[in-house]
Amino acid sequence: MRRFRVGLPSQGTRLDLFLASACSDLSRSRIQKLIEEGAVRLSGSPARRSRVVRAGEEIEVEVPEPRPVEIEPEEIPLAILYEDEHILAIDKPAGLVVHPSPGHDSGTLVNALLHHVRDLSGIGGDLRPGIVHRLDKDTTGVLLVAKTDQAHASLSRQMKKRLLEKEYLAIVSGFPRVRKGEIARPIGRDPRDRQKMKAFRATETPPAGSREARTLYEIEREWPDLAITLLRCRLVTGRTHQIRVHLAAAGLPVVGDPVYGRPRFDRVRDPGLRRALTGFPRQALHAERLGLRHPATNERMEIVAPLPDDIGRLLGMLDATRSAGRGPL
């Protein structure tokens, strides 16, 4: 049981705001839920969150122990990029699903985290890791996890205010019209295939549920003779499949993308390279860098995930083909 006495400077403050300041380890939404559940008593009686506190009043807050979740911990290896008592950043491999779902009730990142993380304090009253953002099953790179309610609230707030800096590397077929630019098209469900997303042109009327989407990009490396480009993309918004959908809509499909890609590579003559490109087993998309403010210290942080082996090998083949095409100097 936590007990507080309202001081004169706090008089006139709403109860939920007072507790948000007094209980720094709990998010405001968690505090509001505790109030609704009757776990907060003001001068001995259950209180409403809109109640204004008065100097001298006593507040009792009963915070129950986090509830175990019905997800089994599993010993799945994780590549840890950063960890402390507040947050964890992993280098997600291709093929790892983030959340349990129909058809994926085990072998997910959440199963692995429940085994790995021994100091969870709970998110929203449940003993579970707080997944701040997601990566598609076959996208690799930095994925950030909150260990505490406070960290989850801080990181979610940073994401909502677009303060998290997320940069990706993508190998694409084709050339952008400019070396550095922006793709700004709303994204929603494709009316012809509800399993896919679609970026809508200005001349189209997006269906209900579509949302603003913006992707910044610039050329990192290029192979003009092959019509292949390595792009650095930065998300301004974070929609489902955003980079893949935006690049495909711009005529720059991601190599290996089974849903929005499938380029023909007509200018690639080397048979080995053509096989590597057409047979690349996943989208060649890697979440390389994440910039954030640490939820406890407010210090600026940057977490970087190294290129995965499969993308590194493909880039090596592209460079080797370019070098071979130059001939003797």
- Which two three-digit tokens encode residue 55? 């100097």
Q: Which of 16, 136, 149, 257 is catalytic?
A: 136
Q: How far apart (Å, rounded) are the C-alpha atoms in residues 12 and 271?
A: 75
**Which residue from 228, 327, 215, 224 is spatially nearest to 280, judged by alpha carbons?**
228
Number of neighbouring beta carbons within 10 Å of residue 49: 17
Q: How far apart (Å, rounded) are the C-alpha atoms in residues 186 and 209?
A: 10
Q: How far apart (Å, rounded) are the C-alpha atoms in residues 80 and 39?
A: 37
**Which residue from 257, 237, 93, 241 is spatially nearest to 172, judged by alpha carbons?**
257
- Which two three-digit tokens encode residue 26? 């709990």
Q: Is 136 part of the annotated catalytic residue set?
A: yes
User: Which active-site residues does the annotation give?
Assistant: 136
